[in-house]
Amino acid sequence: MAVNNVVHVNECGLPLNAINWLETHHQSKAFERKQMIHDLQLQHGSFVVDAGCGPGLWTPLLAQAIGQEGHILGVDISPEALVTAQRRSVHRSYRRQVQYKRAYLENLPIEYGAADTIFSANVSQYLSDPVATFAAMGRYLTPGGRLIIKDIDFGTMRFQAVDPSLQSHVFHAREKWEKERIEQGYSFEDSWVGSKLAGYLRAAGYEDVQEKTYHVVRRFPLPLNFRNYVQGIAEWFVCEGAPFLANEDVTKWLQCFFSPTENVFNMDTFLFEETEFVVSGSWHAPTSRFYIDMPKEVASLEESLLVVPV
Ligand SMILES: C[S@@+](CC[C@H](N)C(=O)[O-])C[C@H]1O[C@@H](n2cnc3c(N)ncnc32)[C@H](O)[C@@H]1O
What tens digit of pLDDT does each residue of 114-144 get? 999 999 999 999 999 999 999 999 999 999 9
Concatenate the DSSP letters of all residues of 138-168 into one string: HTTEEEEEEEEEEE--GGG-EETTS-HHHHH
Å from CA of 54 to ligand 1 middle: 5
Does the pLDDT value for residue 207 go beyond 70? yes
CATH architecture classification, 6-297: 3-Layer(aba) Sandwich (3.40)
Residues 54/78, Cβ–Cβ less than 8 Å: yes
CB-CB contact of 191 with 1 (8 Å): no
What are the residues facing 159 on neighbouring strands?
272
Average pLDDT over residues 230-235: 93
Tell whether ligand 1 has an atom less than 6 A from the beta carbon of residue 54: yes
110 in Cβ contact with 83 (< 8 Å)? no
The whole-number pLDDT of residue 5 equals: 37
Domain locations along the chain: 6-297
Query: Under 8 Å CB-to-CB from 201, ≥6 apart: which residues?
Result: 134, 147, 149, 209, 279, 280, 281
**pLDDT tens for residues 137-190?**
999 999 999 999 999 999 999 999 999 999 999 999 999 999 999 999 888 999
* Ligand 1 pocket member 36 (CB < 6 A): no
Q: Which amino acid, one-letter code, is at 177?
A: W
Ligand 1 centroid to 55 CA: how many Å?
9
Which atom, in ligand 1's list, is nearest to the CA of 298? 19
> Given ligand 1 and candidates 1, 14, 61, 76, which is best to mutate, with the most ligand atoms within 8 Å of its CB?
76
- Concatenating the DSSP letter of every residue in 278-304 gives EEEEEE-S-TTTT--SHHHHSPPPP--
Strand partners, 141: 115
- What pLDDT score was predicted for residue 294? 41
Sign of CA dihedral 310, 28, 148, 122: negative
Helix or strand holding residue 66 (H, E): helix 59-66
Helix axes 59-66 and 79-89, enclosed angle (nearest 10): 50
Continuous segment of H or E residues that includes residue 71: strand 71-76
The CB of 137 under 6 Å from ligand 1? The reply is: no
Mean pLDDT, all residues of the chain:
89
Q: Which residues of 288-309 are buried (b: 16+ CB within 10 A; e: fewer)?
A: eebeeebeeebeeeeeeeeeee
